[in-house]
Amino acid sequence: MKRILAREELAADSKRTLDKQLWAGAIDCVGGETLSSILPKIQYGGVVAACGLTGGTELSMTVFPFIIRGVRLIGIDSVMALMEKRSKVWELLADVYKPPLLNELCEEIGLEQVIEKTAVLLKGQSKGRTIVKL
């Protein structure tokens, strides 16, 4: 099953060192407490790809998911990756792996709307990505 979870769904969960095995893998673009909540719920041998730090850089948890379940945490680097590799990934993302709901997850605003949108972001009420057209 493919599903996008809100941070609030994970924040309400228990902070057990190992939890019910819910997912074979996950992509986390938040980090911090969200990532700490995901890892104990990954199935034996599962993988979590971490690609963001908006929720923080700390990882407050035990090593149990890694040792007992063989869970792997991999980082997605977009800074040091060679341009050739980036180009291949961008091509795949634009075609084969293009999310079906991409247009619904992206909003374009003008510069005059930035202050209003920032207030929404700070309240945690924004979804997807916002592009500011200059």
39 and 15 Cβ atoms separated by less than 8 Å? no
- Single-letter code of the amino acid located at 10: L
56 and 29 Cβ atoms separated by less than 8 Å? no
* Fold classified for 7-98: Rossmann fold (3.40.50)
Task: Determine the average pLDDT of the residues in 13-18.
Answer: 77
pTM of the model: 0.67
For residue 120, what are its two tokens?
């929404």
Q: Is 7 a residue whose pLDDT tops 90?
A: no
User: What confidence tens digit (pLDDT) does each residue in 42-64 have?
Assistant: 999 999 999 988 889 999 999 99
How far from 49 is each of 38, 66, 106, 113, 133, CA to CA, in Å? 11, 14, 22, 33, 30
User: What confidence tens digit (pLDDT) does each residue in 107-126 have?
Assistant: 999 999 999 999 998 888 88
Annotated domain spans of the chain? 7-98, 101-134
User: What confidence tens digit (pLDDT) does each residue in 58-103 have?
Assistant: 999 999 999 999 999 999 887 888 999 999 988 998 899 887 877 7
What is the pLDDT, as a whole number, of residue 55?
A: 87
Residue 74, H or E segment: strand 72-75
